[in-house]
Structure 1
Amino acid sequence: MTSRAGPRATGSDGSDFKHREKVASHYQMSASLKSEIKKLTVVHLLLWALIAAQVTVAHLKLLSHDVVAMPYQWEYPYLLSLLPSLLGAMAMPKNNISYLVISMISAGLFSVAPLIFGAMEMFPVAQQLYRHGKAYRFIFGFSAVSVMYLLMVVAIQVHAWQIYYSKKLLDAWFNSTQEKKKK
């Protein structure tokens, strides 16, 4: 306890706090990576909602097929890409390494693989549009292949960054657990 009238500490100008109040770098890294992954997950959910809306509208025939084209085959497995995002979100609060690993693997299977398949599936249609200027499928007056390729470009970047940040986060969590085991 200190008192107003008692002796004062000498030799400290207040600059000796830095070694006591420093947060470990892997905690800082974990917090920033979690934030980035959450932002990318929101963007992914928006992309997923667009594809889910197109599939729903086309199958329920809410709009004419001239307005919203029937979905391509790759869109159906891509709808499963919601699962990796949910697993990743479940891994964040308690730093669950196993959920994050499963999320990364399933992101490759359910997110990236359908996009690659879709690029190959739509390539002949895109080539025909480019060479002859003819499109047979439309989404609100725009060529369906052009709209879907644009969506795919954004989606592949989102998923690539999600996997990259998840790997960095996994490394930060793993280093953290290894340091705890050493003590």
Structure 2
Amino acid sequence: MTACLILFLIVLGINLLPAFGPPTWSIIVLYGLTTDLPVALIVFIGALAAALGRLLLAWGFRFLKDYLPAKQKRNLEAAKKVVEDRPKSAIFGLALFALSPLPSAQLFEAAGLAGIRLGKFTAAFFVGRLVSYSIYAATAGVIRKSSLGDVFTERLTSPWGIAMQIGMIILLAALAQIDWSRFLRSDNDPRSSA
């Protein structure tokens, strides 16, 4: 029971980080290799803690919206409308994103800033993480043949890993600069052809 609680708290803490946290899959694999917990339980606890951490991160970013300039607030409101007018596309996109190894912090930060409803968003993330963590846990044998320290270090300190984190932060900042209202205009709207 203690191992489950520790796993939950570690994964929750990592997923509360806005950037530069170690990948959660590495914790899932580490636990799979070093504990007697069933893989299915590790995957479930990991996905649940990751989803809760990202949900809390998004809620925290909602408070930052008040400090943004008016133009960025308008752009974020329009982004929210784009997502909420196409909920199936947004949930499908999130589920695909959740299956990938890409960092998800900035996606939840953007959702929080935009004020997007987070229930279905987080549920899709949870399901995607259940699938992706299951794949990582099932392939843990590959990591047994290498040094876990090397995996952690390479992931966090490689130029590619650092560049990806910086790029995601820049994309998050760019999100608020986009005039999302132009995506809401219909084909019959004369402003859409301008």
Whether TM-score is above 0.5 comes out as no
Please, what TM-score do these two structures have when normalized by structure 1?
Answer: 0.28
Structure 1 or 2: more helix by fraction: 2
* Bigger Rg, structure 1 or 2: 1
Give the TM-score of the pair, scaled to structure 2: 0.27
